[in-house]
Structure formats: C-alpha cells, structure tokens
Amino acid sequence: MLDTSKLVVLRAVAEHGSIAGAARELGYTRSAVSQQMSALERSAGVSLLIRGGKTVTLTPLGQRLLEHTERILVELRAAEATLRQSDGVAGRLKIGIPFREGPPLMSTALTNVRQRYPRLELALVSVSDQQGAEEVKRGRLDVVILSTFGATPPLPQVGLRQWILGCDRLRLCTPLQHPLASLESCRIEQLLEEPWVVYQNHPLGNVLLGLCSGAGFRPRVGATVGDVATALGLVGVGWGLTIAPDLTPGAPEASIKRIALDGVDAKRYSVLVCRDGEQDIPEIAAVVTAVHKVTARTFTV
C-alpha cells in the first residue's frame, strides 16, 4: 500500500521541480527526500521521476499519481475533521489577514469567535494576498482572508476550499481639493497628465498599469508603494491619484474623494480560504460561520 507521507514528498518535489526545493519546504535533507522518492518508486513498481541534473519532473504515471494524491489528502483531512467533531471548539488556529488592506471584516468576526469560544486561541498573522493561499496549502496557516482583483470571481485552487465573501468596486481616489473631486465619475482617458501613486509587488499594480495602457498612456509616477493604506495616505496629502477598493479605509478618509471609473468592471473579491477537507473541523467551521454572519453587513455591491 502507498505511504501517504511519501505522497506528500512527491507533491513537494513536483511543485518545486527539484529535490533541494522539496527538502527546504519539508525541512528534510536532500538525501532523505531522494530516499523517500526511491522507496515510493519501488513500492509503486514504476518510475515516477525524470531526474535531470538539478531539476526533476514527473513521468506521465507520476503526474497521474499526483492527481490522486490531492484527492487522497483531502479525504484524509476530512476524516480527521470527522474524528474531531466531539472535541468542541478548542485549541489554536493561525489565521492570515492582509492587515491595512481592508475591509475590516476579520476583526469583527474574530472578536465574536473569541467571545463565544473562550477555549479557542486565535493567532493572527500578517500575510499578503500573493502568499496567503500557499501558506494555507502548506499548512502554515489554518485560514486566510485574501483579495483577488478582476471582472469575475476567482476559480478555486486544487487542494483548497474557498468562499467568495463579496466584492467591492475599484475607485479612483483623489485628494479632496483636486479639481476631479467635484465629479461623481470619470474615464481613465481623462487622467493622462495626472501624477499617480502606483503599486509595486501588489496585484493592484498590474490592474492600474493595465487600465492606463488600455487608455493609451503610461502613468506618470509620483510615488511607488507596496500597500493600499500607504497609497491612500499619500493621495490624501496631494501626492497623486491612485485606484483602491471602495471598502479599504483611507487615512484619514476625509482627506480623499472616491470617484467611479466609467467603463471599468474590475472589482476586489474578498475570499475566505482553508485547506479542502478541513472545513468541518470545529474551530475552522466556527470561524467560517462567524465571517459569513458579518459579510452581509460589510458588502453592499
């Protein structure tokens, strides 16, 4: 019978494309990973890996086994969740939140959870939207709320269970005293000569560049930042314009004006994520329920 621990190693090797990468992720030595893979191949009776220097790829049979591995791990997690049903809501959860990115959904929900379940310890971890799903998939976080940007909701990732909590539109944000602040809406083509607060290493950076490119210009950069809260702060002191989700609070909100962008369908989707199969663990189920209870009061679009 196949050993599930070796299947986990196979998955890590496939995702990193190397023995060394899998070893770093799992905290093993490279020798230990190689031995696990050799033992798995002997057990299976077929070759699963194509070794080429420092890189490793899966054979067609190895790829098919990997597909089964994901389903096996989901079922194992679901079985463990079933066994824990009688324990009640207790223990410890690590929850990832993109602090300062908003909306302030998790703080309200998690306060309710702490009050209702005093035996449950909640540890909050700052995490970016880009890292959040991977941290959950690897088991380093139990639950995460993250944001994705686009005209349509994101598709679920293999091995993860996700809930779309709601969405809010992207708005043009201007200083309160800017001439555009008197408008209720404008088109991106009107902003050719404006300075911009742009995003670096953030999904909104690509959205902003795409909007400007579609309008036939490159943004004139006044500042480059890594998060929405900082961008809104700079807009408030007159450093330039930016785009931001409607529900991400400004600092202070009275210093900026949010304006609809005509013809722009992009939205920010807030997504709750855990590992597939773990959604029925009492602690995680309590968090999921609490978040959903406050969602209707938070999202209006």
pLDDT tens, position by position, 232-269 = 999 999 999 999 999 888 767 788 999 999 999 889 99
pLDDT score, position 185: 95
* Structural domain boundaries enclosing 162: 89-166+268-298
Same structural domain, 108 and 173: no
Amino acid at 268: R
pLDDT score, position 224: 96
pLDDT score, position 184: 93
- Report the 10 Å Cβ neighbour count for 130: 12
pLDDT score, position 87: 67
**Residue in this structure with the two tokens 């560049």, named with its chain if needed:** 209
Between CA 275 and CA 265 the distance in angstroms is: 30
Contact, 248 vs 227, CB < 8 A? Answer: no
Spell out the SS3 assignment of 211-239: HHHHCCCCCEEEEEECCHHHHHHHHHCCC
Give 165-190 pLDDT, tens digit per residue: 999 999 999 999 999 999 999 999 99
Q: Residue 30 sits in a domain of what CATH number? A: 1.10.10.10
The residue length of the chain stands at 301
Contact, 59 vs 50, CB < 8 A? Answer: yes
Same structural domain, 72 and 117: no
Same structural domain, 185 and 262: yes
The pTM of the full predicted model, rounded to 2 decimals, is: 0.79
Same structural domain, 216 and 251: yes
Is 80 exceeded by the pLDDT of residue 17?
A: yes
Is 60 exceeded by the pLDDT of residue 109?
A: yes
Between CA 255 and CA 278 the distance in angstroms is: 43
Q: How confident is the model at residue 11 (pLDDT cuts 50, 70, 90)?
A: confident
pLDDT score, position 25: 85
Contact, 110 vs 290, CB < 8 A? Answer: yes
Is 80 exceeded by the pLDDT of residue 300?
A: no
Between CA 227 and CA 224 the distance in angstroms is: 10
pLDDT score, position 274: 95
Same structural domain, 214 and 246: yes
Torsion of CA 117, 120, 125, 131, to 10 degrees: -90
Work out how many domains the chain is built from and give that number.
3
Between CA 48 and CA 10 the distance in angstroms is: 9
Q: Write down which residue in 32, 55, 83 finishes a domain.
A: 83
Mean pLDDT across 125-149: 90
Same structural domain, 175 and 138: no
Between CA 13 and CA 10 the distance in angstroms is: 5
Our measurement of the distance from residue 298's CA atom to the centroid of its chain's CA atoms, rounded to an integer in Å, reads 19
Q: Write down which residue in 65, 83, 101 finishes a domain.
A: 83
Q: Residue 161 sits in a domain of what CATH number? A: 3.40.190.10
Backbone angles phi, psi at 244, to 5 degrees: -155, 155
Q: Write down which residue in 66, 83, 100 finishes a domain.
A: 83
Backbone angles phi, psi at 91, to 5 degrees: 105, -150
Worst-scoring range by mean pLDDT, 24-28, 54-58, 62-66, 81-85? 81-85
Does residue 103 have a cis bond before it (omega within 30 degrees)? yes
pLDDT score, position 91: 86
- Mean pLDDT over the full length of the chain: 88
Same structural domain, 177 and 246: yes
Same structural domain, 202 and 241: yes
Same structural domain, 148 and 285: yes
Between CA 9 and CA 133 the distance in angstroms is: 19
Same structural domain, 152 and 187: no
Mean pLDDT across 70-80: 81
Between CA 250 and CA 39 the distance in angstroms is: 56
Task: Kindly give the residue spans of alpha helices, DSSP state H, lying in the chain.
Answer: 4-16, 19-26, 30-44, 60-83, 105-116, 129-137, 203-214, 228-236, 282-298
Backbone angles phi, psi at 232, to 5 degrees: -65, -35
pLDDT score, position 86: 64
Same structural domain, 63 and 150: no
Q: What is the DSSP letter of 154?
A: P
Between CA 140 and CA 54 the distance in angstroms is: 27
Same structural domain, 124 and 200: no
